[in-house]
A = this chain, B = another copy of it.
Amino acid sequence: MTAATETPKPNLLELLWRAAPEAGRGPRKKLTVDEVVAAAIGLADAEGLEAVTVRRLAQELGKAPMTLYTYVPGKNELVALMLDTLFERMERTAPHGSWRERLAAVARDNYALYRVHPWAAAASPSRPPLGPGQCAKYEHELRALEGLGLGDVEMDDALTYLLAFVRTAAQDAAQSEAERAASGMDDQEWWEANGPLLAKVLDTERFPTAVRVGQAAGEAHDAAYNAEHAFEFGLARTLDGLAALIER
Protein backbone atom coordinates (compact mmCIF):
# COMPACT_ATOMS: atom_id res chain seq x y z
CA MET A 1 0.00 0.00 0.00
CA THR A 2 3.01 2.28 -0.16
CA ALA A 3 2.20 4.93 -2.71
CA ALA A 4 5.85 5.85 -3.07
CA THR A 5 6.60 3.51 -5.96
CA GLU A 6 3.76 4.65 -8.20
CA THR A 7 4.84 5.59 -11.70
CA PRO A 8 1.98 7.82 -12.79
CA LYS A 9 0.89 7.50 -16.40
CA PRO A 10 2.19 10.40 -18.42
CA ASN A 11 -0.49 12.90 -19.29
CA LEU A 12 -1.44 13.37 -22.92
CA LEU A 13 -0.46 17.00 -22.76
CA GLU A 14 2.93 16.19 -21.24
CA LEU A 15 3.42 13.70 -24.01
CA LEU A 16 2.47 16.15 -26.75
CA TRP A 17 4.92 18.72 -25.43
CA ARG A 18 7.53 16.04 -24.73
CA ALA A 19 7.53 17.23 -21.13
CA ALA A 20 7.79 13.80 -19.56
CA PRO A 21 10.44 13.58 -16.86
CA GLU A 22 13.29 11.58 -18.38
CA ALA A 23 14.06 8.33 -16.71
CA GLY A 24 17.05 7.80 -14.46
CA ARG A 25 17.83 4.20 -13.70
CA GLY A 26 17.19 1.17 -15.82
CA PRO A 27 18.09 0.16 -19.35
CA ARG A 28 18.32 2.90 -21.91
CA LYS A 29 15.37 3.32 -24.21
CA LYS A 30 16.14 2.12 -27.67
CA LEU A 31 13.50 4.22 -29.35
CA THR A 32 11.99 7.65 -28.99
CA VAL A 33 8.39 8.75 -28.98
CA ASP A 34 9.05 10.50 -32.25
CA GLU A 35 10.30 7.33 -33.89
CA VAL A 36 7.23 5.45 -32.78
CA VAL A 37 4.93 8.20 -33.99
CA ALA A 38 6.76 8.56 -37.30
CA ALA A 39 6.51 4.83 -37.91
CA ALA A 40 2.82 4.93 -37.12
CA ILE A 41 2.27 7.79 -39.55
CA GLY A 42 4.15 5.97 -42.26
CA LEU A 43 2.09 2.87 -41.70
CA ALA A 44 -1.15 4.81 -41.72
CA ASP A 45 -0.18 6.60 -44.91
CA ALA A 46 0.70 3.37 -46.63
CA GLU A 47 -2.08 1.10 -45.47
CA GLY A 48 -4.64 3.18 -43.64
CA LEU A 49 -5.28 3.82 -40.00
CA GLU A 50 -6.82 0.41 -39.47
CA ALA A 51 -3.43 -1.14 -40.24
CA VAL A 52 -1.93 0.71 -37.29
CA THR A 53 -2.34 -1.94 -34.64
CA VAL A 54 -0.06 -2.28 -31.69
CA ARG A 55 1.24 -5.60 -32.96
CA ARG A 56 1.85 -4.40 -36.45
CA LEU A 57 3.52 -1.22 -35.40
CA ALA A 58 5.75 -3.09 -32.95
CA GLN A 59 6.71 -5.51 -35.69
CA GLU A 60 7.54 -2.60 -37.95
CA LEU A 61 9.86 -1.27 -35.24
CA GLY A 62 11.39 -4.64 -34.44
CA LYS A 63 10.00 -4.70 -30.91
CA ALA A 64 7.53 -6.70 -28.90
CA PRO A 65 4.03 -5.26 -28.87
CA MET A 66 3.98 -4.35 -25.21
CA THR A 67 7.15 -2.34 -25.59
CA LEU A 68 5.23 0.44 -27.25
CA TYR A 69 3.34 1.08 -24.05
CA THR A 70 6.54 2.43 -22.58
CA TYR A 71 6.47 5.23 -25.08
CA VAL A 72 2.77 5.87 -25.33
CA PRO A 73 0.11 5.16 -22.71
CA GLY A 74 -2.41 3.81 -25.20
CA LYS A 75 -3.62 3.85 -28.72
CA ASN A 76 -5.75 6.97 -28.39
CA GLU A 77 -2.75 8.94 -27.26
CA LEU A 78 -0.77 7.55 -30.17
CA VAL A 79 -3.31 8.85 -32.65
CA ALA A 80 -3.32 12.24 -30.98
CA LEU A 81 0.44 12.35 -31.30
CA MET A 82 0.27 11.34 -34.93
CA LEU A 83 -2.13 14.16 -35.66
CA ASP A 84 -0.16 16.79 -33.82
CA THR A 85 2.96 15.73 -35.68
CA LEU A 86 1.15 16.16 -38.96
CA PHE A 87 0.02 19.62 -37.90
CA GLU A 88 3.54 20.54 -36.96
CA ARG A 89 4.96 19.44 -40.28
CA MET A 90 2.22 20.65 -42.60
CA GLU A 91 2.70 23.29 -45.25
CA ARG A 92 1.69 26.78 -44.20
CA THR A 93 1.31 29.05 -47.20
CA ALA A 94 2.62 32.51 -46.38
CA PRO A 95 -0.36 34.85 -46.04
CA HIS A 96 -0.79 37.42 -48.77
CA GLY A 97 -3.55 39.01 -50.80
CA SER A 98 -7.13 39.69 -49.82
CA TRP A 99 -8.71 38.04 -46.80
CA ARG A 100 -10.50 35.76 -49.21
CA GLU A 101 -7.26 34.62 -50.78
CA ARG A 102 -5.68 34.16 -47.38
CA LEU A 103 -8.55 32.04 -46.10
CA ALA A 104 -8.67 30.05 -49.31
CA ALA A 105 -4.99 29.28 -48.84
CA VAL A 106 -5.65 28.10 -45.29
CA ALA A 107 -8.44 25.87 -46.57
CA ARG A 108 -6.31 24.44 -49.36
CA ASP A 109 -3.37 23.78 -47.07
CA ASN A 110 -5.67 21.81 -44.80
CA TYR A 111 -7.32 19.99 -47.65
CA ALA A 112 -3.96 19.04 -49.10
CA LEU A 113 -2.88 17.67 -45.73
CA TYR A 114 -5.95 15.50 -45.48
CA ARG A 115 -5.65 14.29 -49.04
CA VAL A 116 -2.09 13.14 -48.46
CA HIS A 117 -3.02 11.57 -45.11
CA PRO A 118 -6.61 10.46 -45.59
CA TRP A 119 -6.75 8.75 -42.23
CA ALA A 120 -6.17 12.08 -40.53
CA ALA A 121 -9.48 13.58 -41.58
CA ALA A 122 -11.41 10.81 -39.91
CA ALA A 123 -9.21 10.77 -36.82
CA SER A 124 -9.08 14.47 -36.17
CA PRO A 125 -11.60 15.87 -33.74
CA SER A 126 -13.12 19.31 -34.08
CA ARG A 127 -11.00 20.53 -31.19
CA PRO A 128 -7.66 18.79 -31.34
CA PRO A 129 -5.67 18.64 -28.12
CA LEU A 130 -3.41 21.60 -27.56
CA GLY A 131 -0.13 20.13 -28.74
CA PRO A 132 2.69 22.17 -30.23
CA GLY A 133 1.64 21.37 -33.79
CA GLN A 134 -1.93 22.34 -33.20
CA CYS A 135 -0.86 25.57 -31.52
CA ALA A 136 1.46 26.57 -34.35
CA LYS A 137 -1.28 25.77 -36.81
CA TYR A 138 -3.86 27.77 -34.88
CA GLU A 139 -1.53 30.73 -34.60
CA HIS A 140 -0.78 30.72 -38.33
CA GLU A 141 -4.37 30.34 -39.37
CA LEU A 142 -5.70 32.99 -37.05
CA ARG A 143 -3.36 35.51 -38.63
CA ALA A 144 -5.30 35.21 -41.87
CA LEU A 145 -8.24 36.63 -39.94
CA GLU A 146 -6.54 39.51 -38.18
CA GLY A 147 -7.25 43.12 -39.03
CA LEU A 148 -10.65 42.42 -40.53
CA GLY A 149 -12.64 44.05 -37.76
CA LEU A 150 -13.70 40.78 -36.22
CA GLY A 151 -13.76 40.28 -32.47
CA ASP A 152 -11.55 37.61 -30.98
CA VAL A 153 -14.46 35.26 -30.45
CA GLU A 154 -15.65 35.80 -34.00
CA MET A 155 -12.19 35.03 -35.30
CA ASP A 156 -12.24 31.71 -33.51
CA ASP A 157 -15.77 30.99 -34.67
CA ALA A 158 -14.91 31.77 -38.28
CA LEU A 159 -11.77 29.64 -38.29
CA THR A 160 -13.49 26.72 -36.61
CA TYR A 161 -16.24 26.94 -39.19
CA LEU A 162 -13.85 26.98 -42.11
CA LEU A 163 -11.74 24.12 -40.79
CA ALA A 164 -14.76 21.98 -40.06
CA PHE A 165 -15.86 22.38 -43.65
CA VAL A 166 -12.48 21.33 -44.98
CA ARG A 167 -12.20 18.39 -42.64
CA THR A 168 -15.63 17.11 -43.62
CA ALA A 169 -14.98 17.56 -47.32
CA ALA A 170 -11.75 15.61 -47.05
CA GLN A 171 -13.38 12.96 -44.90
CA ASP A 172 -16.16 12.47 -47.43
CA ALA A 173 -13.66 12.27 -50.25
CA ALA A 174 -11.61 9.66 -48.47
CA GLN A 175 -14.65 7.66 -47.48
CA SER A 176 -16.03 7.69 -50.97
CA GLU A 177 -12.72 6.40 -52.31
CA ALA A 178 -12.50 3.76 -49.62
CA GLU A 179 -16.00 2.52 -50.35
CA ARG A 180 -15.26 2.27 -54.02
CA ALA A 181 -12.11 0.30 -53.31
CA ALA A 182 -13.80 -1.94 -50.76
CA SER A 183 -16.76 -2.80 -52.94
CA GLY A 184 -14.48 -3.75 -55.78
CA MET A 185 -17.12 -2.56 -58.21
CA ASP A 186 -16.73 0.28 -60.64
CA ASP A 187 -19.69 2.45 -61.44
CA GLN A 188 -20.83 0.39 -64.35
CA GLU A 189 -20.78 -2.86 -62.44
CA TRP A 190 -22.68 -1.22 -59.60
CA TRP A 191 -25.39 -0.05 -61.95
CA GLU A 192 -25.64 -3.40 -63.63
CA ALA A 193 -26.10 -5.00 -60.24
CA ASN A 194 -28.47 -2.47 -58.72
CA GLY A 195 -30.06 -0.65 -61.62
CA PRO A 196 -32.97 -3.01 -62.15
CA LEU A 197 -34.09 -2.87 -58.54
CA LEU A 198 -33.70 0.89 -58.37
CA ALA A 199 -35.70 1.34 -61.54
CA LYS A 200 -38.51 -0.67 -60.01
CA VAL A 201 -38.47 1.11 -56.70
CA LEU A 202 -37.72 4.71 -57.54
CA ASP A 203 -40.99 5.63 -59.16
CA THR A 204 -41.29 9.20 -60.30
CA GLU A 205 -44.68 9.50 -58.65
CA ARG A 206 -43.39 9.17 -55.11
CA PHE A 207 -40.04 10.88 -55.69
CA PRO A 208 -40.35 13.19 -58.69
CA THR A 209 -37.83 15.78 -57.59
CA ALA A 210 -35.40 13.26 -56.15
CA VAL A 211 -35.30 11.17 -59.30
CA ARG A 212 -34.90 14.18 -61.55
CA VAL A 213 -32.21 15.89 -59.51
CA GLY A 214 -30.45 12.71 -58.57
CA GLN A 215 -30.12 11.71 -62.19
CA ALA A 216 -28.82 15.12 -63.20
CA ALA A 217 -26.28 15.12 -60.39
CA GLY A 218 -25.18 11.61 -61.21
CA GLU A 219 -24.60 12.43 -64.84
CA ALA A 220 -22.87 15.72 -64.15
CA HIS A 221 -20.17 14.15 -62.01
CA ASP A 222 -18.34 11.29 -63.61
CA ALA A 223 -18.68 9.30 -60.41
CA ALA A 224 -21.74 9.05 -58.23
CA TYR A 225 -20.03 11.51 -55.97
CA ASN A 226 -17.32 13.80 -57.12
CA ALA A 227 -15.32 14.86 -54.11
CA GLU A 228 -13.24 17.56 -55.71
CA HIS A 229 -16.27 19.29 -57.10
CA ALA A 230 -17.93 19.21 -53.71
CA PHE A 231 -14.86 20.79 -52.17
CA GLU A 232 -14.68 23.60 -54.69
CA PHE A 233 -18.39 24.30 -54.47
CA GLY A 234 -18.31 24.22 -50.69
CA LEU A 235 -15.23 26.39 -50.41
CA ALA A 236 -16.83 29.09 -52.52
CA ARG A 237 -20.00 28.94 -50.42
CA THR A 238 -18.07 28.96 -47.18
CA LEU A 239 -16.05 32.01 -48.15
CA ASP A 240 -19.23 33.75 -49.32
CA GLY A 241 -20.78 32.99 -45.97
CA LEU A 242 -17.82 34.45 -44.12
CA ALA A 243 -17.90 37.48 -46.42
CA ALA A 244 -21.32 38.31 -45.06
CA LEU A 245 -19.73 38.45 -41.61
CA ILE A 246 -16.51 40.19 -42.53
CA GLU A 247 -17.75 42.76 -45.02
CA ARG A 248 -20.92 43.66 -43.21
Q: Which residues of A contact B (CB under 8 A)?
A: 11, 13-14, 17, 19, 125-127, 130, 132, 135-136, 138-139, 142-143, 146, 151-153, 155-158, 160-161, 164-165, 167-169, 171-172, 175-176, 179, 193-194, 197-198, 201-202, 206-210, 212-214, 216-217, 220, 224-225, 229-230, 233-234, 236-245
Given A127-B225, A138-B210, A152-B216, 8 further pairs, Cβ under 8 A: A126-B230, A139-B208, A139-B209, A142-B209, A157-B229, A165-B165, A167-B168, A240-B244
A175 near B125 with CB under 8 A, answer yes
Give the number of times this chain occurs in the complex, counting copies: 2
Q: Give bound CA distance, A216 to B168, whole Å.
A: 26
Which residues of B are found within 8 Å of A225, using beta-carbon distances? 126-127
Query: Nearest B residue to A151 by beta-carbon distance?
Result: B216
Given A161-B237, A206-B139, CB of A17 within 8 Å of CB of B197? yes
| Cross-chain contact A138 with B214 (CB below 8 angstroms) | yes
Main secondary structure of the interface of A (DSSP, over half): helix
Of B155, B202, B213, the contact of A155 (CB 8 Å cutoff): B213
Q: Is the CB of B126 within 8 A of A175?
A: yes
Which residues of chain B are within 8 angstroms of A234 by Cβ–Cβ distance?
Answer: 161, 164
Distance, CA A10 to CA B216, complexed state (A) = 29
Closest to A162 in B: B237
| In-complex Cβ contact of A245 among B138, B237, B244 (8 A) | B237
Given A161-B237, A209-B143, A242-B237: A153 touches B220 (CB 8 Å cut-off) = yes
For A135, A210, A214, the residue with the greatest tally of chain B CB atoms inside 10 Å of its CB is: A210
B210 adjacent to A139 (CB under 8 Å): yes
Chain B residue with Cβ nearest A137: B210
**Chain B residue at smallest Cβ distance from A237:** B241
A102 to nearest B CB, angstroms? 14
A216 to B19, CA, bound (A): 26
Chain B residues with CB under 8 Å of A197's CB are 11, 13-14, 17, 19
**Do A176 and B237 have beta carbons less than 8 Å apart?**
no
Query: Using Cβ atoms and an 8 Å threshold, which residues of chain B touch A127?
Result: 172, 176, 224-225
